[in-house]
Amino acid sequence: MSHPLQLNFQDAASHIMGEFHRFHDYAMIFVVFIIILTIYGLVLILFNSPSHWKFTEKQQVELWWTISPGFILIALAIPSINLLYWMDEGSNPNITVKTVGHQWYWTYEIWDNQRIEIDSYMIHLEDINQEGLPRLLEVDNRLTLPYNTDIRVITYSTDVIHAWSVPQLGLKMDAVPGRLNQMFVKIDRPGIFYGQCSEICGANHSFMPIVIESVNQNTFYSWCNEIANS
């Protein structure tokens, strides 16, 4: 999870989030190039004559600064479109999870061999009795999911627009009343991953945390049976 004064992304826990990290590094190459080129141009303008006979109405220069941004945009668009495709494309998911946003908590429905449903509320500060639990991020019922398993996540809302977001997994979906949105994810490793509602949804918007606990398949099915029998 994140920590104070953090500058970089959280550690990726899914393939798609790892691709986001690589795309960010790739895009930063162009950003650094543009910054250096801009500073170089400003230095030339400030410390030289503002006009020069070689560059006055120079069509080649105008052509260069028109075409170059186009090539940069194309170079950024191609991997970006590929990422968008892989975020929405999924085949034969092993598990389907429905996340339902309410003011101000989440309901999770898991469809596998059986249907189970849990409500997930934030644990308030006065109720936290374990050391090390993150402030305003822990919940009473975590969503338990298996790693190395293809999972489809469907989300919608029963009242206002929410957003279900877990940064380490590269997941962020709007939960819209009357509309189903979906994404696919495959968690790479066991762990506990935190997220929050990422759409301002009312007075208690800040108190809708998301906690996913990634376990092996045997532990996951044991958890499902325990919830179903409770």
pLDDT score of 219 more than 90: yes
pLDDT score for 89: 74
Least confident range from 36-50, 68-82, 188-202: namely 36-50
pLDDT score for 217: 92
pLDDT score for 157: 95
pLDDT confidence tier of residue 229, bands split at 50, 70 and 90: confident
- How many CB atoms neighbour CB 30 within 10 A? 13
Q: Which pTM does this prediction carry?
A: 0.82
Phi and psi, residue 170, nearest 5°: 70, 30
pLDDT confidence tier of residue 127, bands split at 50, 70 and 90: confident
Longest dimension (CA), the chain: 84
User: What percent of the chain lies above the pLDDT cut of 70?
Assistant: 92
pLDDT score for 54: 60
Q: How far apart are CA 99 and CA 107, in angstroms?
A: 6
pLDDT score of 52 more than 70: no
pLDDT score for 211: 96
pLDDT score for 1: 65
pLDDT score of 195 more than 70: yes
Which residues, other chains included, contact 1 with Cβ-Cβ below 8 Å and sequence gap of 6+? Answer: 10, 134, 137, 168, 192, 193, 194
**Over residues 20-33, mean pLDDT:** 93
**Over residues 127-138, mean pLDDT:** 76
Q: Is the dihedral of CA 146, 151, 154, 155 positive or negative?
A: positive
- In CATH, which superfamily holds the domain spanning 95-229? Cupredoxins -  blue copper proteins (2.60.40.420)
Least confident range from 89-93, 163-167, 226-230: namely 89-93
pLDDT score for 121: 94
Instruction: Write down the mean pLDDT value for the chain.
Output: 87
pLDDT score for 11: 87
- How many CB atoms neighbour CB 47 within 10 A? 7
pLDDT confidence tier of residue 125, bands split at 50, 70 and 90: confident
pLDDT confidence tier of residue 144, bands split at 50, 70 and 90: very high
Task: Return the domain boundaries, the chain.
Answer: 15-88, 95-229
Q: How far apart are CA 51 and CA 177, in angstroms?
A: 59
pLDDT confidence tier of residue 128, bands split at 50, 70 and 90: confident
pLDDT score of 153 more than 60: yes
Q: Are strands 105-111 and 95-102 parallel, antiparallel or unpaired?
A: antiparallel
Phi-psi region for residue 148, left (φ > 0), alpha (ψ -120 to 50) or beta? left
pLDDT score for 129: 67
